[in-house]
Amino acid sequence: MGWLRSSILKENRIQVIFPYLIASLILLALPNSYQRQLSHLIFAFAYSPFYQLNSKLKELYQVSQKNKSLNEELIRLKIEILSSKEESLENLRLRELLGFKSKTEYEVIPAEVVALEPNRKSYMVMLDIGENDGVERNLPVINMKGLVGRVTDVEEGSCWIELLLHPNCRVAVLDQRSRVHGIIRGAQGNLLKLDNVPTDGDIQVGDKVISSGLGGIFPAGLEIGEVKKVGGVEGWRLFKSILVKSGVDFNQLEELFVIRFKKTD
């Protein structure tokens, strides 16, 4: 090691280390708060460009992944659109062949519940749309869970809805599985009663009940609810006693949609 010592001392290389030594000692002697502040400063100066680059790269990667998944979704949807277009054209052709009238198309008008009837037993709610929005009497009202009711009174900027639970409200329905027809009306609480189903009508608990389209007010296919109880088959009764649980929570109505009929041709 003698040669190392002599080479360091001979060429005065030791001077090289002094500034660093002094700087290091100063840094070590600084109070903790200054050390922390200085660390933050050095960090911001030296590392932040890398962190920024890293976050940008991450962002870019996420965007590219999202783009990929959106592209896949787009392709899937395009295929679905094409196939549904084909089916729609086929449907039209078949309907023409069979001489059916053209189907009525619907458009939905979104609305919000702004008021409830003070007497809650009357089952009426007010919406924030009216004549100005194209609302008319007897238009059906739905939400994401199924049929809610129908429009009874229309004003310029509002309208009143008679809920499905209302004693006056009747809807022609059918059992989705067995295609047995009946009439739905309010029963007790949130339950609905399915009337006019003969005792030999094939209705089972758990069957879905949908609107049949008969009567002309409610279009066919709107979800009403699920059969909860089937009774009245014993004795000399004419009709079954069936209770249906609506999917709609009538106590928590917020956003609703009014269905407006639109004749295509």
Partner 1 sequence: MILVKNLNYQKIFFVILPILLIVYLAILRGPKEGALFGFSIGLLLDIFNPHFLGLGALIKCFIGFFVGNFKETLFLESIFSKVVILFLAVFTNDLFYILISSGFGFQRTFEVLWYGSLLSGLYTCFWGFFLFVFPKKISIRLT
Residues that bind partner 1 (CB under 8 A): 3-4, 7-8, 13, 16-17, 20-21, 23-28, 30, 32, 35-36, 38-40, 42-43, 46-47
How far from chain centre, in Å, is Cα 2? 82
Nearer to partner 1, 4 or 97 (CB): 4
Q: How near is the Cβ of 74 to partner 1 at its closest, in Å?
A: 39
Q: How near is the Cβ of 17 to partner 1 at its closest, in Å?
A: 5
Q: How near is the Cβ of 34 to partner 1 at its closest, in Å?
A: 9
Cβ of 181: how many Cβ atoms within 10 Å?
16
* Whether the Cβ atoms of residue 108 and residue 259 lie closer than 8 Å to each other: yes
Return the biggest CA–CA distance within the chain.
124
**DSSP H helical ranges for the chain:** 2-10, 14-29, 32-46, 48-98
Nearer to partner 1, 27 or 144 (CB): 27
Q: Residue 147: is it exposed, middle or buried by C-beta count within 10 angstroms (0-12/13-18/19+)?
A: buried
Nearer to partner 1, 47 or 61 (CB): 47
Q: How near is the Cβ of 206 to partner 1 at its closest, in Å?
A: 56
Nearer to partner 1, 14 or 70 (CB): 14
Decide the pairing of beta strands 171-175 and 255-263.
unpaired
Q: How near is the Cβ of 62 to partner 1 at its closest, in Å?
A: 23
Nearer to partner 1, 22 or 114 (CB): 22
Return the C-alpha torsion angle 143, 148, 151, 153, nearest 10: -110
